[in-house]
């Protein structure tokens, strides 16, 4: 049986009719056409589907819609208002910190969330924050450098 849910996604109020047990990730990708969050493990273990919910990083594959009602969700597409790139995205591009890119949306959401609470994190903080984001291509060192760069770029402005 389906039910209507209201939530805010990337600053816009949306209504979705779906099964209460559908995952937030399924709704984002298939109902709202936001393809940035990816399906990896489906178990909350890889980080490919990470989004912000009420300001915290969550595994959207592991959030049933009944628990997303009334929440504020930000996906990788909504991290930066307008058409520009978030400074984490800019730093990831400049540092060529992606291979296949499957993990990068989740990594970007995690890193951007870290910078909201810790604008100039040290390496240890970046590594700790990204601990739940797996990357099978092995670009972790480049990613950490890029996030550090994004932090210092913000400090310099």
Q: Which residue in the block uniquely carries the two structure tokens 């995952």?
A: 23
* Helix spans in 13-139 (H): 24-26, 87-94, 104-117, 123-129
Q: Which residue in the block uniquely carries the two structure tokens 């800019």?
A: 90
Residues 11-70 that bind ligand FES (CB under 6 A): 39-42, 44-49, 59, 61
Q: Give the range of 84-92, 117-125, 129-137, 146-154 binding ligand FES by CB under 6 A.
A: 129-137
What separation in angstroms does the CA of 8 have from each of 31, 77, 97? 14, 14, 30
Q: Give the range of 9-17, 68-76, 121-129, 135-143 binding ligand FES by CB under 6 A.
A: 135-143
Residues 93-112 that bind ligand FES (CB under 6 A): 98-103
By rule CB under 6 A, what count of residues binds ligand FES? 22
Q: How far is Cα 81 from Cα 88, in angstroms, rounded to an integer?
A: 14
Residues that bind ligand FES (CB under 6 A): 39-42, 44-49, 59, 61, 98-103, 135-137, 139
């Amino acid at each position: 049986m389906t039910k209507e849910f209201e939530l805010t996604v990337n600053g816009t109020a949306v209504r979705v009719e779906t099964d209460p047990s559908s995952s937030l990730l399924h709704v984002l990708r298939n109902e709202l056409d936001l393809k940035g969050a990816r399906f990896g493990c489906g178990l909350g273990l890889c980080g490919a589907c990470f989004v912000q919910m009420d300001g915290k990083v969550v595994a959207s594959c592991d959030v049933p819609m009944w628990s997303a009602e009334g929440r504020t969700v930000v996906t990788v597409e909504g991290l930066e208002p307008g058409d520009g790139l978030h400074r984490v995205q800019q730093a990831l591009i400049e540092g060529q910190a992606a291979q296949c890119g499957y993990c990068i949306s989740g990594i970007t959401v995690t890193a951007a969330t870290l910078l909201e609470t810790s604008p100039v994190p040290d390496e240890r903080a970046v590594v700790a924050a990204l601990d739940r984001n797996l990357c099978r291509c092995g670009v972790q060192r480049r990613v950490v450098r890029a996030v550090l760069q994004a932090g210092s770029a913000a400090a310099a402005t």
